[in-house]
Amino acid sequence: MTRQVSDEGHRQSRWKRHIVFGLAFLAGFLVAASIYLILAIGECIPRDGSAQMHACDAIKRRDFWLYPLLFAATAGGSIAMHWRGVSLASLCAATSGLVAAVALMLANAYFA
């Protein structure tokens, strides 16, 4: 026997799901922005013009562009999951900044 859900109840649960996802996405974005700020203000020390300093600067430039792309990929995946109605989409949205940071560390380990 199936339970009948009224249109009003379905509409309320749908809006609740959208609001929860939006808040989770905002939390993930704030985490990602904090991590990106740390990446942006980090500096290669010592600033002596050595080859090691230039290599560090090249890695910082790569991280500066790679991290937003990784975040966009993970956030886009969580949006696609939410659109498909997957229940874990909010969790993926909230952790997308951390997942992108881990992916960046793995990329740095791979390219090192």
For the chain, the domains span: 8-111
The pLDDT mean for the chain works out to 88
pLDDT in tens, 47-99: 888 888 888 888 888 899 999 999 999 999 999 999 999 989 999 999 999 99
Chain centre distance of CA 2: 39
What is the reported pLDDT for 7? 63
For 65, phi then psi, to 5°, come to -100, -30
Confidence of residue 11 (pLDDT cuts 50, 70, 90): low
Q: What percentage of the chain has pLDDT greater than the value 70?
A: 89
Q: Tally Cβ neighbours within 10 Å of residue 80.
A: 12
